[in-house]
Amino acid sequence: MKNKQLTKKIIAGKYKGKRLLLPSKTTTRSSKSIVLESFFNTLQFDIVDANFVEVFSGSGSIGLEALSRGASRVYFMEKDKEALKTLKQNITQTDPEDCEVFAGDSFTNINEVVSRLKKLGEDAYFYIDPPFSIREGMEDIYEKTMHLIEHLPVLHVKMIIVEHMSGLKIPQTLGQYSIKKSKKFGNTTLTYLTSENME
């Protein structure tokens, strides 16, 4: 018996109602709708005309929701081949002109994304949703993610949002960034970080 393809709809904006495909749950984990809605209620108008980077994109549902709600350009980063295929299919439902996909290891590709922002003299919102560390081979994923955050250049960061296991304790300060707020949704928590000069 063939597995039914999982889907999720874009909630609001110009692509509202577009159905996005989701990769199999064995490779990636989709952000819950409640988390998604809370996040976009928090940023609402701030992302209009802003750049948005979705690190560990999976199906791209967060980045494409941001695009639908007015983000000017979205950078997607994904390593898993099946997820990449799904991501590219989902982008065709929106505006591929405003999307850029970086295939491969996010910890390496982040440098290329930052270089692109530097060249353009622009900043972006960074949404970081690493695979849960309980997955095999992902034991050090959070450690590497903290390192990535610490080294993001302040000039090119509007805000960093981390979606993580609620059991994870993110340090109050990471490099030049500090926690602005955290919101818990059962096993998942959203933590927002900004630098001093962003206030």
H or E segment and range at residue 40: helix 33-43
Task: Give the residue ranges of DSSP H helices in 52-199.
Answer: 61-68, 81-91, 106-120, 141-150
H or E segment and range at residue 183: strand 177-185
Q: Has residue 157 got a pLDDT over 70?
A: yes
Choice among 31-40, 91-100, 103-112, 153-162 with the minimum mean pLDDT: 31-40
For the segment 58-70, what is each residue's pLDDT rounded down to a tens digit?
999 999 999 999 9
User: In the chain, what are the domains?
Assistant: 7-198 (3.40.50.150)
Q: Has residue 29 got a pLDDT over 90?
A: no
Q: What is the mean pLDDT of residues 38-48?
A: 93
For the segment 112-147, what is each residue's pLDDT rounded down to a tens digit?
999 999 999 999 999 999 876 444 555 688 899 999
Find the radius of gyration of the CA atoms of the chain: 16
Q: How many residues does the chain have?
A: 199
The percent of residues in the chain predicted with pLDDT above 70, rounded, is: 88
Q: Has residue 12 got a pLDDT over 50?
A: yes
Tell me the pTM.
0.92
Q: Report d(CA 132, CA 119) in Å as an integer.
A: 33
At residue 1, the pLDDT reads: 41
CA angle 90, 73, 18 (to 5 degrees): 30
Q: What is the mean pLDDT of residues 148-171?
A: 94
- Paired with 195 in beta bridges are 177
pLDDT grade, residue 6 (50/70/90)? Answer: confident
At residue 91, the pLDDT reads: 98
Name the residue type at position 166: S
